[in-house]
C-alpha cells in the first residue's frame, strides 16, 4: 500500500549521517566540548529528533534561537544544557529559570533586568556573555583593535554583569562575521575576544568554564580558532552542508534528502510552452515529468529553469517556472522514467548546488522547507517513529 507520507514529496533525515558528521567534527577539535545548533527546527530537520540524537551521541550542549525553541526541547524531555542565543524579554526570565535554559547576555541593561527577575524568583540564571568583536549583532562591543577605551568599557561592563546577584556567568563567546570569507578579519575578531578575556583576567574575574567562538566555517577553515577556546558551535556542518561556496568538504554528508514522486510523464511536441509565463519552450519532442513539489513546499521559485533533480542516476533539468505545488522536469534523456519513480531534489551532491544556483546558502533552502514536507527519520538504515 502506498504510504500517504511518501506519495508526493518528503524529506528523509538520516540520523546515521548526523552521527558520522558529529564524530568527524569532534575529531577536528579534539578536547573541545561540542555544542550542537538546533535552532530553526534544527535547520529544518526537526529539533526534537535531532536533539535526542545529539544527546545520545554525547554532545555537551544545544543552542536555540529563542525561548520557545528551548521550551520545546524541555517539554520533549531533553536534559542537556540549552543555550538561548537570542534576546529573551526580561519579563519571561521566569520561564528561563523554570525550564533551566542558559541565556546569552550581551549588554548590561539586559543583565540587570534578568538579575532582578532571578533574585525575585529566588533562583540563579546561567548565562553566557556575548562579545561583539565585529559581527555587529549582539554583544558587549569591542570592535577596533587597539581601542583601549572600548576594551576598558567592555571589561568594566562585563565585570559589572558578572557581579550581579542571581546570575551565574558560565561562559563567554563571540561570533565570526566572515569565517567563510576573510581569514584576516576572522583573525582580528579572534584577537579581540582574547583581548577581552585578558582584560577580564586583569580585573581579577574568575575564569569562565566555557569559551567559544567557532561555528561551522571556523571549525572547517581555521583550526587555530580552537586555541584557548574549549567548545565548538557548529550548525550547518553538522547537517552536512558547507557554509559557503568553494570550501573543501572533509567528508561531511547531507543529513537530509528531499524526494518527490513523479506524478505523471507526458509526451509533448517541439514548440510546446512549459509553465507560467511560458518561460520555457521545447526544442524537440520531449518527455516531461510532472513533479509534485513547488514553492509551497519551500522549493525556491528562483530555481525555475535552473534546478536539476536526480532520477535514477540521471540529472534532469527543471523546465519553466516552479509552481506552488508542482514543477516540470525534462526526462527525455532519462529513458524509462514513469509515474511513481522517485526524484531526489536535495541531498548528497544536490543541496549545495541548488543553493549556489538560487543565489543563496544551504541554510536558507533547508530552513524554508514547509510543514507540507513530512520528515521521515532513518536510524541504522531503518525508519524510526
Ligand X SMILES: *Cc1c(COP(=O)(O)O)cnc(C)c1O
> Which residues belong to the active site?
39, 276
Cα torsion through 73, 68, 89, 195, rounded to 10: 50
Q: Measuring CA to CA, which residue among 195, 211, 309, 305 is closest to residue 259?
A: 309
Site for ligand X in 41-70 (CB under 6 A): none
Contact status: 85 vs ligand X (CB under 6 A): yes
Alpha-carbon distance 11 to 197, whole Å?
43
Minimal distance in Å, beta carbon 362 to ligand X? Answer: 9
Size of the site for ligand X (CB under 6 A): 13
Coil, strand or helix at 168: strand
Q: From residue 148 to residue 187, what is the string marking binding to ligand X with x (rule CB under 6 A)?
A: ---------------------------x------------
Minimal distance in Å, beta carbon 38 to ligand X? Answer: 10
Contact status: 254 vs ligand X (CB under 6 A): no
Minimal distance in Å, beta carbon 358 to ligand X? Answer: 18
Minimal distance in Å, beta carbon 280 to ligand X? Answer: 35
Name the one range near ligand X by CB under 6 A: 52-60, 156-164, 232-240, 284-292.
232-240
Name the one range near ligand X by CB under 6 A: 49-57, 73-81, 152-160, 215-223.
215-223
Coil, strand or helix at 214: strand
> Which one among 234, 240, 320, 347 touches ligand X, defined by CB under 6 A?
234
> Which one among 36, 166, 243, 347 touches ligand X, defined by CB under 6 A?
243
Contact status: 215 vs ligand X (CB under 6 A): yes
Q: In Å, how far are 84, 245, 280, 311, 335 from 154, measured between CA atoms? A: 21, 35, 57, 56, 65
Between 8 and 175, name the residue whose CB sits nearer to ligand X. 175
Coil, strand or helix at 43: helix
157 — alpha (psi -120 to 50), left (phi > 0) or beta?
Answer: alpha
Decide: 8 and 227 in contact? Cβ < 8 Å.
no
Contact status: 233 vs ligand X (CB under 6 A): yes
270's CB contacts (< 8 A; 6+ apart) are 282, 283, 284, 285, 286
Between 33 and 175, name the residue whose CB sits nearer to ligand X. 175
Between 243 and 300, name the residue whose CB sits nearer to ligand X. 243
Contact status: 221 vs ligand X (CB under 6 A): no
Between 217 and 343, name the residue whose CB sits nearer to ligand X. 217
Minimal distance in Å, beta carbon 242 to ligand X? Answer: 10
Phi, psi of 101 (to 5 degrees): -105, 135
Between 162 and 217, name the residue whose CB sits nearer to ligand X. 217
Minimal distance in Å, beta carbon 174 to ligand X? Answer: 9
Positive or negative, the CA dihedral 178, 63, 94, 46 is: positive
Contact status: 131 vs ligand X (CB under 6 A): no
Q: How crowded is residue 58: how many other Cβ atoms within 10 Å of its Cβ?
A: 11
Q: How crowded is residue 334: how many other Cβ atoms within 10 Å of its Cβ?
A: 20
Largest CA distance in the chain: 79
Contact status: 37 vs ligand X (CB under 6 A): yes
> Which one among 111, 235, 254, 300 touches ligand X, defined by CB under 6 A?
235
Minimal distance in Å, beta carbon 213 to ligand X? Answer: 9
Instruction: Write a three-state SS string for 266-296.
Output: EEECCCCEECHHHCEECCCCEEEEEECCCHH
Positions in the binding site for ligand X (CB under 6 A): 37, 39, 85, 175, 215-217, 233-237, 243
Amino acid at each position: 500500500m502506498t504510504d500517504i507520507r511518501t506519495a508526493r514529496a518528503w524529506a528523509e533525515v538520516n540520523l546515521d549521517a548526523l552521527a558520522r558528521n558529529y564524530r568527524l567534527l569532534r575529531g577536528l577539535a579534539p578536547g573541545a566540548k561540542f555544542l550542537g545548533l538546533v535552532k530553526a527546527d534544527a535547520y529544518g530537520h526537526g529539533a526534537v529528533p535531532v536533539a535526542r540524537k545529539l544527546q545520545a551521541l554525547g554532545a555537551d550542549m544545544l543552542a536555540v534561537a529563542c525561548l520557545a525553541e528551548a521550551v520545546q526541547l524541555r517539554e520533549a524531555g531533553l536534559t542537556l544544557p540549552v543555550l538561548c542565543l537570542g534576546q529573551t524579554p526580561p519579563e519571561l526570565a521566569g520561564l528561563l529559570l523554570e525550564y533551566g535554559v542558559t541565556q546569552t547576555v550581551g549588554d548590561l541593561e539586559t543583565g540587570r533586568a534578568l538579575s532582578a527577575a532571578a533574585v525575585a524568583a529566588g533562583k540563579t540564571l546561567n548565562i553566557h556573555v556575548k562579545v561583539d568583536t565585529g559581527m555587529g549583532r549582539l554583544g558587549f562591543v569591542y570592535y577596533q583593535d587597539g581601542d583601549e577605551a572600548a576594551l576598558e568599557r567592555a571589561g568594566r561592563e562585563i565585570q559589572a554583569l558578572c557581579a550581579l546577584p542571581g546570575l551565574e556567568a558560565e561562559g563567554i563567546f563571540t561570533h565570526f562575521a566572515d569565517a567563510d570569507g576573510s581569514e584576516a578579519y576572522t583573525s582580528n575578531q579572534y584577537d579581540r575576544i582574547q583581548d577581552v578575556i585578558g582584560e577580564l583576567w586583569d580585573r581579577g574575574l574568575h575564569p569562565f568554564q566555557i569559551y567559544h567562538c567557532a561555528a561551522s566555517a571556523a571549525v572547517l577553515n581555521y583550526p587555530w580558532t580552537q586555541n584557548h577556546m574549549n567548545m565548538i558551535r557548529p550548525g550547518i556542518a553538522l547537517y552536512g552542508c558547507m557554509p559557503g561556496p568553494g570550501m573543501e568538504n572533509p567528508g561531511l554528508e547531507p543529513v537530509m534528502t528531499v524526494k518527490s514522486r513523479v506524478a505523471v510523464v507526458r509526451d509533448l511536441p517541439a514548440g510546446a510552452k512549459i509553465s507560467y509565463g511560458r518561460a520555457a519552450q521545447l526544442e524537440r519532442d520531449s518527455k516531461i515529468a510532472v513533479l509534485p513539489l513547488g514553492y509551497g513546499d519551500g522549493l525556491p521559485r528562483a530555481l525555475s529553469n535552473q534546478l536539476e533533480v536526480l532520477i535514477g542516476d540521471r540529472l534532469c533539468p527543471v523546465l519553466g517556472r516552479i509552481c506552488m505545488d508542482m514543477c516540470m522536469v525534462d526526462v527525455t534523456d532519462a529513458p524509462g522514467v514513469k509515474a511513481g519513480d522517485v526524484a531526489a531534489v536535495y541531498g548528497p551532491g544536490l543541496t549545495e548546488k541548488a543553493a549556489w544556483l538560487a543565489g543563496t546558502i544551504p541554510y536558507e533552502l533547508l530552513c524554508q522547507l514547509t510543514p507540507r514536507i513530512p520528515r521521515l527519520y532513518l536510524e541504522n538504515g531503518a525508519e524510526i517513529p
